[in-house]
Structure 1
Amino acid sequence: MITTAGLTKRFGPVVAVDGVDLAVSEGSRYGLLGPNGSGKTTLIRLLLGLIYATSGTIHIMGRPVPKRLGEILPAVGALVEGPAGYGHLSGPANLALFDAAGAGGPRRTRRTRIGTALTRVGLAGIDNRPVKSYSLGMRQRLGLAAALLRAPQLLVLDEPSNGLDPQGIREIRELLRELNAEGTTVLLSSHLLTEVEQLCTHVGVMDQGRLVLQAELGALFAPTGRVVVLTPDAETAVGLLDGQIEERHGDRLLVRHADAAELNARLVGQGLRVAEIMPERRSFEEVVLSVMAHGSDRVGP
């Protein structure tokens, strides 16, 4: 669905995107993670033709961007850097203008499309108050409704949960799952690990303009080659597994061993009681932080 090769964007001496090879497969839910300033939004703006690359290539749906962007945009819904709109107009009026500009379809079905989009994002009961009176979360929902007017094959979202309360975040997550199940490929950026972990099938991690990790989410939780053992016979286990114990906290042992079942059979065969045994797996947070040179925007000691 989306591929880039050596994609680079410089703003004077600043390299905002540095040689990125992005691969978003059709039908996936791809989460682009990274701290503020890591290059996520710049990368998304490059993909949508809002800014031009310094070097490298972009292909979306097999077509080069920006050269054939006009062929692609009717099939793409996007929300970048917060929703745009006319503050003095209502939400439905803003969507009608957006639709009339070519975002949607025939005029005769405009009202239906707008109503459907508002319902899907949780704004079905919205009145005619001006958008300038909306909360940030409501404006975010309205921006997502605008992106859905196209019935997009590809949905590109920059921090879609920004301004939403926990219930709103959950609702948008479920909506994106539904859209994906209906055939829409989703690319979203976020700095929230939990958002990406709960929603996405694939992940890319940006750090200082570089794509430092790109993988299917499930593949990141492979066993570490160590086994967690909980046993009331910890002292005996330590003696039996001399040299293989890497950590001990009371009855909890971390054992260097590749096969939990084999280790369990060995311990039980020696008469030890095993309350719990499982392969150790790194958390998503540990995986992400391990590939980042700078994990926060903190300044100073």
Structure 2
Amino acid sequence: MIRTEALTKRFGRVTAVDAVDLEVREGDVYGFLGANGSGKTTTVRMLLGLVLATSGSIDVLDESMPGSARSVLPRVGAMVEGPGSYPHLSGRANLASFDATGADGQRRTRGRRIEEALERVGLASVDKRPVRAYSLGMRQRLGLAAAILRRPSLLVLDEPTNGLDPQGINEIRTLLLELNREGTTVFLSSHLLGEIEQMCTRVGVLDGGRLVLQDQMDALRGPTGRTEVHTPDPEQARRLLTTTAVEIESTDDASGARLLVRGLEPADLNARLVEGGVRVTQLSPERRRLEDVVLAATTSGTDRFGRDGVDA
């Protein structure tokens, strides 16, 4: 769906994007993760032909960009650097204007598609107020409605949950996953670790303009070799496992403790705890956290990345 080779963009002496090789496959929910200022938006703008690359190549939907923009862009839904709109028009009028140049078949279904797009982003009940009266979250939702209006094969979104409250973030996350299940490939640029970790099947990490990491989420968050045990009987468990390397991650009077155990297979560990009378509420292999993986791969560190709903 998206492939770049040695994609580079320089502004004078500044290299904003440095020899980036992206690979976004059909059906992916691809998380393009990077701290603010890492070059994400410049990369996205080059993918869409809004900024010309200094060097390198770009293929989108198996066609070269920006040369094939006329045939590619009608099949791509995009929202970059916030939603664009005519502030004096209503949301519906904005969507109708956006779709005005569609093919005849699209024009005949425009009204139905506008209502469906507004429904899916939570703006179905919006009145005829002009967009200038919308909140930031409402404008963000309207931008997403415009992106999905033509039922694209590929969605390219730059910080789509900016300005939304936690409930709104969850609603947009649910919508994007639904669209993906329906066949839309999603390319999601964000600096929010939690947003990427909860949604994406594949991840690319940009740091200082360089792509320092790209892999499947399952591979990045592989097992650490330890088993995670939740139990309300932490001290009893520790006494029982004195011959095993046991680490107490955290303890809480209400819910017990989270133990990290190395040296026993999960099935053997569970059997030993149950035979010893230890109550086990959860037992599973510990997996690496995306935050730790990103921290190890970048020079900027995760202090420049945000969690869901929190700007870095």
Q: Which residue of 2 aligns with 1:292?
A: 298
The alpha-carbon distance between structure 1 residues 231 and 252, as it changes in their structure 2 partners (threshold 3 A), is farther
Aligned residues between the structures? 292
Deviations 1:119-174 (A, max 9, x none): 22111112221111110011111111111122100011111111111121111111
Q: Would the aligned equivalents of 1:225 and 1:258 in 2 still touch at CA under 8 Å?
A: no
Q: Which residue of 1 aligns with 2:190?
A: 190
| 1:1-301 aligned within 5 A | 1-102=1-102, 105-228=105-228, 232=236, 234=238, 237-238=241-242, 240-241=243-244, 245=245, 247=247, 254-257=260-263, 259-261=265-267, 278-295=284-301, 296-297=303-304
More off after superposition, 247-256 vs 208-217: 247-256
The alpha-carbon distance between structure 1 residues 85 and 228, as it changes in their structure 2 partners (threshold 3 A), is closer
Identical columns (%): 60
Deviations 1:94-123 (A, max 9, x none): 111111133895433322222222122111
RMSD of aligned Cα (Å):
2.7
Structure 2 CA distance for aligned equivalents of residues 117 and 228 of structure 1: 42
More off after superposition, 256-265 vs 3-12: 256-265
Q: Would the aligned equivalents of 2:123 and 2:141 in 1 still touch at CA under 8 Å?
A: yes
Could you tell me which amino acid in structure 2 is paired with residue 178 of structure 1? E
DSSP 3-state at the match of 2:195: helix
Deviation at 1:261?
3.7
Could you tell me which amino acid in structure 1 is paired with residue 118 of structure 2? L
Structure 2 CA distance for aligned equivalents of residues 102 and 263 of structure 1: 61
Deviation at 1:235?
5.2
Structure 2 CA distance for aligned equivalents of residues 104 and 132 of structure 1: 30
Structure 2 CA distance for aligned equivalents of residues 15 and 246 of structure 1: 47
Provide structure 1 residue ranges, at least 5 long, that are not aligned to the other structure: none
Structure 2 CA distance for aligned equivalents of residues 174 and 254 of structure 1: 32
Could you tell me which amino acid in structure 1 is paired with residue 66 of structure 2? P
Could you tell me which amino acid in structure 2 is paired with residue 281 of structure 1? R
What's the TM-score once normalised by structure 1's chain length?
Answer: 0.86
Structure 2 CA distance for aligned equivalents of residues 20 and 175 of structure 1: 29
Q: Would the aligned equivalents of 1:234 and 1:252 in 2 still touch at CA under 8 Å?
A: no
